[in-house]
Amino acid sequence: MQVEIGSNFWTYSLCEGRERKLWWESEEYSKIFLKSGRNAFKAICNYISADKRKVLFPAYHCGTESEPWYESDWEVEYYPIENNFTVDANKLKQCIIKAKPAVLVIQSYYGFDALNDECNALLQECRNKGIIIIEDITQSILSDIRHQAVDYYIASLRKFFAIPDGGVLISRQPIAIRKIAQGDNNIPLNAMQAYSLKREYFETKNKGIKEEFRAAYVVLNELISVNDNNYAMSDVSLKIWNSFDFTYIAQKRRENYRTLSEGLAKIDYLAITRTFDNDTTVPLFLPVLVKNNTLRQELQAFLAEKDIYCPIIWKKSPRIVDCPKETSAIYERILCFPIDQRYDKEDMLRIFNTVEKWNV
């Protein structure tokens, strides 16, 4: 059982090569590795040439995805995401008719497919009409989800793994992105320091090291957040990326999700909106909707006192003025439980037992 659950990754490998390749790693696709998903969005929004610079985004998203579009003088509008993390095809269609965007961004959440067959048919219609479709596959990167009517795929690689930096821009056609600066060597240096300190904390349980590794992660995130240029992914990160055992990672995440969801389903003030119906999904977190925002904040604080860190993904961007009510419910109530490959059944039972003992 781990001394702490959640927060930043620290375990990584520098083994040579891996057997399993993801679908977009084939020669069929062109790939540009950058330092972050934000960098990839920055690159593509400046690469696209469109007379009408308007993009339609899912209302539930990380603000770092849409911010480069604002910075590049694109007009950004939003379509609703249902509170079970799916897209309603009819609502999306109405938003497309109203906005008439040049670009449509789609995304699946927490490893589960957000789009049904009706949505996929709508995407094909959009593409036939010349609308450029971009899919953020960050949260579904290890799931067997592939939406064909997509022009560009984007992912941040740091959400699933201990990797210093990393984002990727993918297309079936060659992508000519200009002015990509060399990867920043300070990023892997700071990352290795942060990983080493956190590993030492886990091994020694020395609380004095805790503030040290937290400060190191702050520096690392600041380096990655620098956005004045497009930067290539560092060589160290590429080597780590090519060493991951995706089969093991997928198995552990599925097992942990199932174990924890079975327990948390008994808690009446928590709603679990997505469950497994097959083994094609590899979850990022176990997202729940807490009964209300006040309860969510109190539960999150209580768990943190027990060294269980459950993030709120995400806080609503101030750019979204009129957020659809179904999507607002996510922002106001979501809490995410860690279920990743660092943990096992004992850790999941520890989370459930801690939640169960909390006096609401």
CATH of the domain at 156: 3.40.640.10
Cβ atoms 125, 142 nearer than 8 A: no
The total number of structural domains that make up the chain: 3
- How many Cα atoms are found within 13 Å in the side-chain-facing hemisphere of 360? 12
pLDDT at position 59 is 98
Regarding whether 201 and 162 lie in a shared domain, the answer is no
The neighbour count for residue 244, using CB atoms within 10 Å, is 21
Tell me, yes or no, whether 300 and 171 share the same domain. Answer: no
Q: Are residues 168 and 204 in the same domain?
A: no
Of residues 72, 76, 78, the one with CA closest to residue 59: 78
How far is it, in rounded angstroms, from Cα 95 to Cα 97?
A: 5
Tens digit of pLDDT for each residue in 207-233? 777 777 677 677 777 777 776 678 899
Point out the domain boundary residue: 180, 204, 234: 180
Residues 257 and 163 in one domain: no
Give the domain extent around 208: 186-225
Task: State which residues of the chain have pLDDT below 50.
Answer: none
Asked, for residue 75, whether it belongs to a domain, the answer is yes
Which among 162, 145, 85, 151 has a CA at the least distance from the CA of 278?
145
Query: 25 phi and psi, to 5 degrees?
Result: -85, 0
pLDDT tens profile 262-271: 999 999 999 9
Question: Which residue, among 334, 249, 246, has the nearest Cα to 286 in the 3D structure?
Answer: 334
Place of tokens 């999150």: 300
Q: What is the pTM of this model?
A: 0.93
Pair 170, 75 in one domain = yes
> Could you tell me if residue 299 is inside a domain?
yes
Torsion of CA 108, 111, 112, 116, to 10 degrees: 40
pLDDT at position 209:
76
Q: Are residues 209 and 129 in the same domain?
A: no
Question: Domain check: are 252 and 110 in the same one?
Answer: no
pLDDT of residue 304: 94
Whether 31 is covered by a domain: the verdict is: yes
HSE, CB side, 13 Å, CA atoms: give it for residue 307.
12
Token couple for 195: 């990983």
